[in-house]
């Protein structure tokens, strides 16, 4: 039997606002499948977002949902998770939301290692606000604020997350859907700050300015641009040069913030009695 997505959706809020060909729907479906496989109850879940196309995702899902200000999903989620440690807190964020306006929160979120999952919908451009460059727009590409080609170096989310202290970092694309299912599930299961970057497509704002004619073409190019972590281990270096790794890129265990804080409470309470 086909998977019943509607059991998790607020159907009264559909149709969604995303453009035809947008990759966000693929990630939403992967997330719902992961939630289902993990048998998470709707009440124990909270989806948090900032601003932008990806930030509208929580509104469509029938769980606790919080749509915050631009770039601030991580600190909102931090306060919530600390006082409600039993909630599974998942953030859906865009590339600009997560590392431009929210960049400082991103690195400190990784550093603190609170048990939160951050899914970054990386479509390489600002979608909702009209196709301006984002911190991940590749060099020389076109956007409405780089009409002569992007002179900026892009960020690498995974490297940034790893360096800042995230304990689980994975990357997938809207082409690698089964991998996407798997890494979202692993990220939610992981105790600590987990980051999943999803390379996806924005035909409306990115594709039409950068000679990628169809959504299918945009998704398919991720097949050529990437190589899996497992395959990369066996391939000669010249075959993986210039390609992006997909899969689980970093996974370590480190004490989780809320648990560390529980010990502080215990100690302070001991000192006061």
Partner 1 sequence: MGWRESMVYSPGLRLMSGNEACAEAAIYAGCRFFGGYPITPSTEIAEILSFRLPQNGGHFIQMEDEIASIASVLGASLGGVKSLTATSGPGFSLMQENIGYGCIAEIPCVIIDVQRGGPSTGVPTGSSQGDIMQARWGTHGDHPSIALYPASVTECFELTVRAFNLAEHYRTPVILLSDEIIGHMREAFTMPVVGELKVYDRRRPRRDPDNYQPYEGDIPTISAFGEGYRFHVTGLYHDDSGFPTNDPTSIGRQERRIVRKVIKNRHDIIEYDGRFLDDAKVVVVAAGAVARSAIAAVKRARANGRKVGLFRLKTIWPFPQDEIEQLAANVDTFIVPEMNMGQLFEIVTMAAKGQAQIKRINRVDCEIITPSQIQRMIRESF
Candidates 66, 229, 240, 245; binder of partner 1 (CB under 8 A) is: 66
Regarding 272 and contact with partner 1 (CB under 8 A), the answer is yes
Those residues with Cβ within 8 angstroms of residue 273's Cβ, 6 or more apart along the chain or in another chain: none
Binding range to partner 1, per CB under 8 A, among 137-145, 169-177, 206-214, 261-269: 261-269
Stretch that binds partner 1, among 18-26, 27-35, 43-51, 203-211 (CB under 8 A): 43-51
Nearer to partner 1 (CB atom), residue 74 or residue 183: 74
> Which residue's CB is nearer to partner 1, number 77 or number 227?
77
User: Is 267 one of the binding residues for partner 1 (CB under 8 A)?
Assistant: yes
- How many other CB atoms are found less than 10 A from the CB of residue 58? 23
Q: Does 184 bind partner 1 (CB under 8 A)?
A: no
- Among candidates 80, 12, 5, 2, which has minimal Cα distance to 45? 80
Which range, of 25-33, 38-46, 160-168, 189-197, touches partner 1 by CB under 8 A? 38-46
- Closest distance between partner 1 and the C-beta of residue 92, in Å? 14
* Residue in 168, 165, 163, 141 with CA at minimum distance from that of residue 152: 141
Q: Any contact of residue 65 with partner 1 (CB under 8 A)?
A: yes
Q: Is the bond leading into 26 cis (omega within 30 degrees of zero)?
A: no
Could you tell me the smallest distance in angstroms from the CB atom of residue 54 to partner 1?
14
The CA distances from residue 220 to 43, 176, 214, in Å, are 37, 10, 10
Backbone phi, psi, residue 148, to 5°:
-105, 15
Q: Is 69 in the site for partner 1 (CB under 8 A)?
A: yes
Mask of contacts with partner 1, 77-116, x by CB under 8 A? xxxxxxxx-xx----------------xx--x--------
DSSP result, 187-233: HHHSSS-EEEEEE---TTTTGGGTT--SHHHHHHHHHHHEEEHHHHH
DSSP label of 132: -
Q: How far is the CB of 134 from partner 1 (least distance, A)?
A: 20
Number of residues forming the site for partner 1 (CB under 8 A) = 42
Q: Do 114 and 193 form a contact (C-beta atoms < 8 A)?
A: yes
Which stretches within the chain are classed as H helix? Answer: 24-37, 57-60, 73-83, 95-99, 103-112, 157-164, 177-189, 215-225, 229-234, 237-240, 257-272
What minimum distance in Å lies between the beta carbon of 42 and partner 1?
6
Q: How far is the CB of 250 from partner 1 (least distance, A)?
A: 22
Chain residues that interact with partner 1, rule: CB under 8 A: 10, 13, 42-44, 46, 48, 58-59, 62-69, 72, 74-84, 86-87, 104-105, 108, 261, 264-265, 267-269, 271-272
């Amino acid at each position: 039997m086909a998977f019943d997505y509607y059991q998790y959706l607020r159907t009264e809020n559909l149709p969604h606002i995303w453009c035809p060909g947008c990759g966000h729907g693929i990630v939403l479906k992967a997330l719902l499948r992961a939630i289902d496989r993990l048998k998470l109850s709707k009440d124990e879940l909270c989806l948090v977002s900032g601003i932008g196309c990806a930030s509208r995702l929580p509104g469509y899902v029938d769980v606790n949902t919080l749509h915050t200000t631009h770039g601030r999903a991580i600190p909102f989620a931090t306060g919530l998770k600390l006082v409600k440690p039993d909630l599974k807190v998942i953030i859906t964020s865009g590339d600009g939301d997560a590392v431009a306006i929210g960049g400082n929160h991103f690195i400190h979120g990784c550093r603190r290692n609170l048990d939160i999952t951050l899914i970054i919908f990386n479509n390489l451009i600002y979608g909702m606000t009209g196709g301006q460059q984002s911190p991940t727009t590749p060099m020389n590409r076109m956007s409405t604020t780089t009409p002569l080609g992007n002179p900026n170096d892009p960020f690498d989310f995974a490297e940034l997350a790893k360096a800042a202290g995230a304990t689980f970092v994975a990357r997938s694309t809207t082409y690698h859907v089964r991998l996407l299912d798997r890494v979202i599930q692993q990220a939610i299961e992981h105790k600590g700050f987990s980051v999943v970057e999803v390379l996806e497509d924005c035909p409306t704002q990115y594709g039409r300015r950068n000679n990628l004619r169809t959504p299918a073409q945009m998704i398919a190019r991720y097949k050529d641009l990437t190589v899996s972590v497992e395959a990369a281990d066996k391939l000669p270096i010249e075959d993986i040069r210039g390609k992006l790794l997909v899969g689980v890129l970093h996974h370590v265990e480190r004490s989780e913030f809320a648990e560390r804080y529980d010990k502080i409470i215990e100690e302070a309470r001991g000192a006061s009695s």
